[in-house]
Structure 1
């Protein structure tokens, strides 16, 4: 009996994962508001009834897909921050955390999903409060202790400066795309973050 139940649960999980992967793929190229359960059903090759049985609604499906996407990004973020990287590399990762997401999920899609779903917005706020902010604060404190960040610089100011960069990442990436060497341009922006336009190290 247990083998039968386990087999059923594994098949059910595979179907659910397939639906979620299909939905994520569609979000990479389509406006969430334009995606219908019928479209997901056709692409995933499952019935609409199956999708409703597993998720209940399109909104619940979108939420679960995006939460999975965020959880994966946070796990990768934590792994990078705990790895053997320089402070400069860690700050670059933080500032341009979304540069990969930018090519994966369009920023407008992320914005629409969050604005349309208060539960999703609350989840992202919780993740920032419980994981992202404490980890970034720790990195800044370590930088101050090692002398890589001025010990007189309040953590709040460094966090605010990072936030300024992150708020403009779309514009920065658009500028980088216009240059002959995108990566070199982004490295220059990180260098300016640390040393200003005087370039003093």
Structure 2
């Protein structure tokens, strides 16, 4: 990457960072390209040159944020942690990220971002699902996920558990959450019966 490309990438990252802050605080409709440009210390023309429209900037910014979250999940999955610890870390991050998306990003009228739903579905298919397939393969290989379980059912279980964990995480105090986490992960892997010794 030459100097020009590096400077351009740095500007884009700055625009993404500022956009995320402003959109999450004020919502899509109340944030102008001029406001983003001023705070990012670039010209409005620069934003229009890079993204074309405010709608495209919003979509690209969200995709960029999701890529960064997925990179964190990949680092956790590739780490030396045990599979249950990896699962716990990924599940907590995912619950936290869902909270950010639902609480901090006011609803955007679908008429203004018609392509966002399709982009999210495409992202899920092209990036999130392959990551989850890798997660399940490691879990099966290490004996934490039964080999006969399909990826589809495993993902459904993971998603249900993560969503409820996110709700619980919002409501419980920090001390209670910390004490309960190991028990919640035990339930996640072994259910109410617990580990059956052979």
TM-score bracket, shorter-length normalisation: 0.7 to 0.9
Q: Is 1:191 paired with 2:182?
A: no
Aligned residues: 194
Q: Identify the residue that residue 41 of structure 2 maps to in structure 1.
A: 45
The alignment's C-alpha RMSD in Å is 3.1
> What TM-score do you get using the length of structure 2 for normalisation?
0.76
Tell me: CA distance 1:142–1:75, structure 2 relative to 1, closer, same or farther (3 Å): closer
8 Å contact kept, 2:19–2:36: yes
8 Å contact kept, 1:32–1:109: no
In the alignment, the residues of structure 1 paired with residue 147 and residue 14 of structure 2 have an alpha-carbon distance, to the nearest angstrom, of: 50
In the alignment, the residues of structure 2 paired with residue 191 and residue 65 of structure 1 have an alpha-carbon distance, to the nearest angstrom, of: 36
Unaligned runs of 5+ in 2: none
Q: Identify the residue that residue 161 of structure 1 maps to in structure 2.
A: 157
In the alignment, the residues of structure 1 paired with residue 43 and residue 134 of structure 2 have an alpha-carbon distance, to the nearest angstrom, of: 48
8 Å contact kept, 2:76–2:90: no
Give the 5 Å matches for 1:1-201. Answer: 10-101=6-97, 105-109=100-104, 112=107, 117-176=113-172, 178=173, 180-200=175-195
In the alignment, the residues of structure 2 paired with residue 139 and residue 7 of structure 1 have an alpha-carbon distance, to the nearest angstrom, of: 38
8 Å contact kept, 1:179–1:185: no
How far 1:62 moved relative to its partner? Answer: 1.1
In the alignment, the residues of structure 1 paired with residue 98 and residue 131 of structure 2 have an alpha-carbon distance, to the nearest angstrom, of: 22
Deviations 1:149-177 (A, max 9, x none): 3345444332221121233343122133x
How far 1:81 moved relative to its partner? Answer: 1.6
Greater Cα offset, 162-171 or 109-118: 109-118
8 Å contact kept, 2:33–2:44: yes
Deviations 1:54-102 (A, max 9, x none): 3222111112211111111222222222222222123223433324435
Q: Identify the residue that residue 3 of structure 1 maps to in structure 2.
A: none
Unaligned runs of 5+ in 1: 1-5
8 Å contact kept, 1:37–1:48: yes
In the alignment, the residues of structure 1 paired with residue 156 and residue 72 of structure 2 have an alpha-carbon distance, to the nearest angstrom, of: 23
Per the alignment, in what secondary structure is the counterpart of residue 51 of structure 1? helix
8 Å contact kept, 1:114–1:121: no
8 Å contact kept, 1:192–1:199: yes
